[in-house]
Each structure stands twice: as structure tokens, then as C-alpha cells.
Amino acid sequence: MVAMAFIWMPIASANPDYTPFPNVTFKVFNDFVKTHFSSHVSLATVLTVLFTMTNNKDLLNLHAHQQPSKVQGEVSQVNSGWIKALAHVLEDRLSDATDTLFHKEDLKSKLTAEQITSQIGFKLESLSKILNLNTYNNQGHYLGKLKLISEQNTQPIHVICPVT
């Protein structure tokens, strides 16, 4: 009797709309890392930064809305509060490895904590452009909200095998 009741219940399901993982060449990504980070940056740090960017679509959507000026006299925010918040959280997560996000020359000028966060924000903003994680084109036209990034192409392959 209960099973029959379930048959007649309306069913709804929602599949989130996904965007493929950013299609950026290794050369372009490598050039970005060499230009913006220390030569001593670890792979783990670079991957943390990459996956931080691809997994924060809502924050990037909010950041993008503050980028172009929409009315005359409005100031566009290249380094919005949203990207600074992401930079601050990333800085906390990386802890001592944060220094590897900077070249030696950048660190010699004794940046304040706020300047470090802002500089990381600029780096994240640049990376969002490289990864095409922006909602406006170069002419300032709105392209639509960012969707979830599919990580299907980046999942590891597991092989079951004996220990010895």
C-alpha cells in the first residue's frame, strides 16, 4: 500500500549546469606561474590556488559584477572586496607558503599585511582571466553567471592492486 503511494508522488530532480574545466594550455598556465609566483612555489601551492579559483564560482560572479563601470562616473573595482576576501582566506590556508606567491624582489619592499592581501588579489584576478572565469567580455558585455566547473577530466584513475 505504501509502495503504491510512492509511485504516484511527483518527482523532481535538479542537475546542476556544469562548465568544462578551463581549457588553458600548459604553456599559458606555466607562463602565468613563472610571471606571478616565485620559482620556489610548490606544485601543491599552485594546485591549491588553481582549485581555489575553479571552486568559488559564486564569489567570482560577485567579484565580476564590481568590475565594469555600469554608469558614468562609477569606478570599476579591479581588486574588489570579494577577491580580497578570497586572497585573505588563501593566505591563511597557505600560511608560510604564502611567500612563494611572490618573487624575491616583491618581498624586499616590506609589504604590509593589507598590501600582501591586495597583491594576492591582483594575482587571483589575473588568473581568473587566464582561466576564462569571468562573466564579462573585453567590451564589458555580460556573458552570464559562471556555472559549476566540472572536475571530471581532472579526477585521478584508481587501480586496484595488491600491496606486494
The reply to whether 3 falls in a domain is no
Residue 36: other Cβ atoms inside 10 A: 21
Grid cell locating 122: 591582483
Binning pLDDT at 50, 70 and 90, where does residue 14 land?
low
pLDDT of residue 111: 85
Handedness of CA 46, 102, 57, 25 (dihedral sign): negative
Q: What is the pLDDT of residue 130?
A: 94
Residue 42 resides in a domain: yes
Q: Is residue 11 part of a domain?
A: no
What range defines the domain where residue 136 resides? 17-66+79-154
With respect to residue 164, please indicate whether it lies within any of the assigned structural domains: no
38 within domain boundaries = yes
**49 domain-assigned:** yes
Give 20-45 pLDDT, tens digit per residue: 899 999 999 999 999 999 999 999 99
Q: For residue 93, give the nearest of 118, 75, 117 by alpha carbon.
A: 117
Q: Are 17 and 147 in contact (CB under 8 A)?
A: yes
Domain count, the chain: 1
